[in-house]
Structure 1
């Protein structure tokens, strides 16, 4: 059955087109059935006069015959024959007219019968379709109700989940902070040094310099390092674009004391010399070296009461134009290396170039042994004009 197709009612009194989807409803409506009844009465009304006329004609056709018979005695035989002939012709004409009208009426009746048969079949088909569609509608209605029920349950489940997530969100944030703290401590532990020295790899210099210039992040911190497993906790702080009066002119490098687990048993204020070294990566060993000794009156070197003390160090550690030059010796592959040495042995200043010229890949114990040996040699020959070179030829600038 095509959607949207329209059909025309065959009842003359209801010559109106209906969508085929409404035909079943139309055929069973009282208005349609009343129209059919009126149509049948109309046919009966049309046939009735014809039948009565034929009956009257047949009845009156006998009167001339009776009159003829009563007057036969007074008329001639020829007149009788003429009357009989006219009567027969009249009856024949009347019979032909009745036959024609009867055939026409039978044709109309057959046509009506065919129409009623088609309509009956259509009604039956529509009734079947209505029953089928009713069953499908009922099934779809049940499916819709089931879907609505599922949706309501899903909404309830989502609401319960949202409430649960809202309840655990604070705990989750707290756990995330704890996890980040633990992760940072693990990373710091993995990268930690426990001999009072730090070799710091500073990567992604170009982006860090851009952040410092735009003041998005003016400084960066190194990983913590320690004087010993139970010693001072320290770190470096680097201002790539300078700090204070050195901003935009020099790279600033500072030393920071951090709050440690063993601070209560350590000696304060902190008074050990700190040396910074920016490594020359060209192989010429023209390292940039500078040192400072702490001011024991400064709060920067008292026992830390917060996470970190105020940084202190060398504001004009290295000129910015030199570090910003392309193909300079101190930044290669967008990376620089800085070494921090805390001198707990009060080594002489002249030994520093030798210390920083040693191969950083040597074990710490080996480096310490070689430094002691070199220091001993220098103490034995204080008037020597030359310095005994370390195993690797080095030059220094400071």
Structure 2
């Protein structure tokens, strides 16, 4: 656990950010089961003059009351990924098969250090709520956080979040008004055929072959229905990334499963993708006399940055930080989007400059970039 800093008004923020990031990087945990991560964060928050609330088994809030009518919130996701780290460092994951490969250790370090900064500032333009949220990578913990009513309870009128971004210059901040990321959904397609020996294909219904035909058909139909020159917000994705089928080299498979993802910005375009899945399932089930079931998750809504809030804070961000406007929305997804359905919200990318993709087993970054994330949070709080 972290020892209390003496003279917190003169804190070395770089030292704190590095300490928190490395300690949290060593103890990655998954989903909602984050006892060590929660204990570390709570050990820091308990030293501060704030109200600490535990939620969702492993989630935490830290509320700093500054006597104002409104509250500014900052959110950090907490969970790691089921990835085996290959990096060799004194802060490498101590948990085999688990790793902070998406930068959530950095996200927590920034919001935790922001809490320590806020603790030293008794005069602020707003109250402050620091949210530490589990299950971003799994069940969408942000939705559960919102359903607790915390944003209403503490009169939150704006919320901000940051995500590490490998393909942006180190320390550079990036965002845009309006749509920043699309809605996402997980696809599962099941094909139920009939098993037979490879030497008697007439006795079987080849679910592996039908699965391959299904992939070809949805790609062709998607391409046919896409606009010839779509705007950035009209882009859509439907992609099958995994196929499971077969039990032996000489047995025709009676079952196959296709797993993938789809992305769209509008409800209309999302419904169009669902139609492609369902129409193809119906057509091929009739053609091959088999059963095909197409499932999709509700997924995460689009990340939409409130335009009014974005343009309100933009001058201060440009003045105090290295900033660039995003030209195109990113096609990844984030459950941070649920907060934006409740209150005005803006999400940012913070460049690491490494080019090492998120979710990679060698993901890493220089903690010096975290100072820029902290400065961003301070700027957003102080310039309202």
What's the TM-score, normalizing by structure 1? 0.20
Pick the structure with greater CA Rg: 1
- Name whichever structure is richer in strand by fraction: 2
What's the TM-score, normalizing by structure 2? 0.21
- Name whichever structure is richer in helix by fraction: 1
